[in-house]
Structure 1
Amino acid sequence: MSVPPRADCTADASGGLVFHVSGGPAARTGERAELVLLRRGADPADRGVRLPLHPAADGRLNAELTLGTELPEGRWDVHVALARDGAAESGQAGPVRLLPGVNDLRALVDRVPEPGGGPVAVRVPYPTKHGNLSLRSWLRAAHAEAGDLGIDATAVTVHGELYGVADPAAALAGAVAEARLRDRAEVVTVPVTADGARFTFTLDHQRLADGWRGGTEVWDLWLCPASGEPARVARLLDDVADRKPVFVYPARRVTAPHGPAQAGPYYTADNDLSVRVEPAG
């Protein structure tokens, strides 16, 4: 009985990952092993992203996923496959899903992207609820990294830093923050204070509750420079693939026309920062 393949993952300070694969099918003469990343929801005919696996001194096979490897934003399932050089793919066994091993992601904690313009790429491996290895990828042209959140009885104050632009201090001069209501074209705008690439803004819960129509309403937070594209406020630069169930913040009661309500920040399934207004619990 073959050993189910699994992979340990090691991150480096640049945000790159090395997969250390053990177990799985053995390559025969003329075959090569590949790490295969398949994006969820993609066309079944999509071959995904394929990385060569190379023998390491410890007997495992290693594959390197650098930040230079194009990986669109989304969730990617990680497999191992064998391919025969010069032969049709249809003649090969399909990719085998990898089990998660030990992740050393310490280098991702409080990671600082390279200065200057250019997209901010983040990749975080994680175990799925079914016990398989997957990878969460983010790719933002400009990125507003959320830091500390200050929550009091009436408002949430967001501290953060702008990345992915050539001159963040110039981009933040005259910037504003916007709370955009999902499903309806409503926007609440607040001023931003800045110090270099660092920014701060305060959003009054009451302003979001004034037009509350009952049920749950979600306001997505954006940082809008005076020039250039808006950046979604999110917390991406660490080793947490899914913040939503882990980072839970208190909701505060607000006065609303449709009855008792409460408002508070939360991280979405994509680690973006939003504020939810809903009936008071």
Structure 2
Amino acid sequence: MTRPPADQPLRTPQPKEDTILPPRADCLADSAGGLTFDVLDGGGSGPAHLLLLRRNAEDDAVRLPLTPVGQGRLRAVLPDGVELAEGRWDTYLRTGEEEPRRLAPGTNDLRALVDRSPSPDAARIAVRIPYVTKNGNLSVRSWLRAPHAEAGDLTVEEARLTVRGRLYGTALGEAAHAELREGDEGTVLRVEVTADPSVPGGFSCTVDHRTLAEGTWKFRLRPAGEDGPRVRLSRLLDDVPDKHDIFHYPGTDYPGDSPALRIRPVYTPSNELTLTVTPVSASVSASASAS
């Protein structure tokens, strides 16, 4: 089978009257991480399958059988127990020996994801969020974390940032702390972590702005101290696949009497929490240019 190309940032042409529209699929997400696809207007003949192909991974594919469920619909189910590696998965319909056809989105029902709250004892957290690509196709964003630190409320003040969250798959030990690393190989700052007994798996940490220098700082939780895993602090448990474009937090200038730095929480395209620290002059110039 020839692997169809991934989405390309090309201008989408206007359909002509005789254009054959691509097959569409409704998608229903459940709170455990499972997905149900109902394919409409599939056409073709022979056994039908729904293909999930991971971008930039030549041989990474999941093949789900499609079965008739009435009213011209074919249904495929991706159970929460079937692992889907982290990344973006494009969806295709293949009927018989025909070449796979890219699926267009129908209705994405993500209501079960809005208030999702897994058990803190869960061995792993599987997140699959269907979404519409820039070219109008149906894809799935997947995360698979064990353990997982979910970022919650952020409180931005002049001199500090407080992050609240929940830890899944492990517990805070006596040596637990958080780390802030500048870039991939830069300075590492240690930040105290406090357990929140009112929330299962709850914790909070506060970053003192005096400790920060210019750069982009990544959060990691160390629930077992220096000898345990580094757990990325991310926000995954909702229905928003790309926080980077949706969640915008105000910045603060530090120090207040003669500010030199602007500090702002930012989610990366992978939904990981970072702090960006830029010179105030550069931030002001960028704001002026944007306006």
Is the partner of 2:211 in helix, strand or coil? helix
Runs (5+) with no aligned partner, structure 1? 84-91
Shift of 1:3: 4.3
Change (3 A) 1:73 1:47: closer
Tell me how far apart the structure 1 counterparts of residues 212 and 87 of structure 2 sit (CA, whole Å).
30
8 Å contact from structure 1 (residues 174, 192) kept in 2: no
Q: TM-score, normalised by structure 1?
A: 0.85
Shift of 1:8: 1.0
- Superposition map of 1:36-75 within 5 A: 36-43=51-58, 46=59, 48-75=61-88
The answer as to 2:207 corresponding to 1:203 is yes
Residue 3 of structure 2 is matched in structure 1 by none
Name whichever of 3-12 and 154-163 sits farther off: 3-12
- Superposition map of 1:98-177 within 5 A: 98-165=103-170, 168=171, 171-177=172-178
Tell me how far apart the structure 1 counterparts of residues 113 and 23 of structure 2 sit (CA, whole Å).
25
Q: TM-score, normalised by structure 2?
A: 0.83
Shift of 1:100: 1.1
User: Aligned partner of 2:93: which letter?
Assistant: V
Tell me how far apart the structure 2 counterparts of residues 61 and 124 of structure 1 sit (CA, whole Å).
20
Is the partner of 1:244 in helix, strand or coil? helix
Q: Report the number of matched residues.
A: 255
Question: Which residue of 90, 94, 100 maps to 1:95?
Answer: 100
Tell me how far apart the structure 1 counterparts of residues 132 and 220 of structure 2 sit (CA, whole Å).
30
8 Å contact from structure 1 (residues 15, 67) kept in 2: yes
Shift of 1:115: 4.5
Shift of 1:119: 2.0
8 Å contact from structure 1 (residues 117, 164) kept in 2: yes
Residue 22 of structure 1 is matched in structure 2 by 40
Tell me how far apart the structure 1 counterparts of residues 120 and 47 of structure 2 sit (CA, whole Å).
38
Tell me how far apart the structure 2 counterparts of residues 118 and 159 of structure 1 sit (CA, whole Å).
21
CA RMSD, Structure 1 to Structure 2 (Å)? 1.8
Change (3 A) 1:59 1:156: same
User: Aligned partner of 2:188: which letter?
Assistant: V
Shift of 1:147: 0.8
Is the partner of 2:71 in helix, strand or coil? coil
Shift of 1:231: 1.1
Is the partner of 1:192 in helix, strand or coil? strand
Runs (5+) with no aligned partner, structure 2? 1-17, 284-291
8 Å contact from structure 1 (residues 15, 107) kept in 2: no
Question: Which residue of 218, 221, 235 maps to 1:220?
Answer: 218
Change (3 A) 1:115 1:147: closer
8 Å contact from structure 2 (residues 54, 60) kept in 1: no
